[in-house]
Amino acid sequence: MVTRVKGQGEARGESLKKRLVSFWNSKEVYWDPISTSEAAESPQRAKAVSFLPAGGDVLDVACGSAANAQCISLRCRYFGSDISQSGLRRAPRTSLRLVCGDADQLPFGDESFDAAISTFALEHCVDPKQMLQEMRRVVRPGGRIVLLGPSWDLPFWYPNALRSQLREPAQRAAYTAKRFLGQVRAWFTGELPFLRVEEPDALHGEFVYDADAVYVVWSYEVTRHMKLLGCRLVHGEVDDRMWGTNTLVRLLKRLLYLLPIYRYAGSTVLLVFER
């Protein structure tokens, strides 16, 4: 179901990545909803782009169909990189500087950009620690790294990639207990789990949003890992705290949100780091 990310060269992870690339290159249903003008004009994307340095060279990591290009090109020099040829072929303009490359091994030299941004992509990365390290590597000292996307911070939250595997209450309870213990351990020991979905639902059935997510994003572990990489968090916010309507659930969430490990728990989180 879910395992901890163990390293870049792990054979199991490489096999999963190949299967995902095959899925992204062959499933047009995946690209249709995220290649629209509405997706490109998202207020969330615009807010993330506002933290980029005006006039700088900016790399859009795992850019997909280059939905960010419209916003970024208005204030910066845009460069995009993605592992999927199908996504890149859907870019809105042929004049964009785009390259097919893996976020785990960006095809750029050290300190090549003034900033790097990745939107709605970290959750699809087989080795998120390596992706974050690569983003840090290609950004110049003093540059910014901007991350925008979903998070599943609370221990009972999970992406649609796990929906078929957590149908039963007992399965969800076991997942929640194991994840909560891992989060508490990480809080006290710094042993970050970086949970990976080994068999995402998208590879076995009808596609729904984020059924291809393979990293169960936890904003606390992302910020802590970036700190280990020497990057400082300069801004963090969440768009929707996902309170729900059940009184007891709202009370539980209110208590959990007091803990630093759930500071940015919510639907979509925006994190801005400075190298």
* pLDDT tier at 34, thresholds 50, 70, 90: low
Measure CA 16 to chain center.
Answer: 17
**Tens digits of residue pLDDT in 186-227:** 999 999 999 999 999 999 888 888 999 999 999 999 999 999
Q: How far is CA 39 from CA 70, 98, 234, 268, in A?
A: 11, 19, 26, 15
Question: What does the pLDDT read at residue 29?
Answer: 72
- Pair 107, 101: CB distance under 8 Å: yes
pLDDT at position 98 is: 95
Q: How far apart are CA 8 and CA 94, in angstroms?
A: 32
pLDDT value at 242 more than 80: yes
Task: Of 35-49, 100-114, 211-225, 248-262, give the lowest mean pLDDT range.
Answer: 35-49
**Domain count of the fold of the chain:** 1
3-state secondary structure of 90: coil
Q: What is the pLDDT of residue 8?
A: 46
Predicted confidence at residue 153, as pLDDT, reads 98
pLDDT level of residue 36 (50, 70, 90 thresholds): low
CATH number of the domain within which 223 lies = 3.40.50.150
Which domain, by its residues, includes 17? Answer: 2-274
Separation CA 20–CA 17 (nearest Å): 5
Asked if residues 87 and 28 have their Cβ atoms less than 8 Å apart, the reply is no
Q: Which residue has the higher pLDDT, 26 or 171?
A: 171
The whole-number pLDDT of residue 118 equals 98
Min mean pLDDT across 31-40, 114-123, 137-146, 152-161 is at: 31-40
pLDDT, tens only, 130-182: 999 999 999 999 999 999 999 999 999 999 999 999 999 999 999 999 999 99
Q: What angle do CA 108, 56, 272 make, to 5 degrees?
A: 85
pLDDT of residue 32: 74
Neighbour tally for 111: CB within 10 Å: 13
Q: What is the pLDDT of residues 63-108, one digit of tens each?
A: 999 999 989 999 999 999 999 998 999 888 778 999 999 999 999 9
Q: Let me know the angle formed at the C-alpha of 8 by 6 and 14, rounded to the nearest 5 degrees.
A: 100
Task: Give the up-direction half-sphere exposure of residue 173: CA atoms within 13 A in the CB hemisphere.
Answer: 3
The pLDDT assigned to 93 comes to 75
Q: Which two tokens stand for residue 191?
A: 């042993």
Whether 9 shows a pLDDT value over 50: the answer reads no
φ/ψ region of 66 (left if φ > 0, alpha if ψ in -120 to 50, else beta) reads left
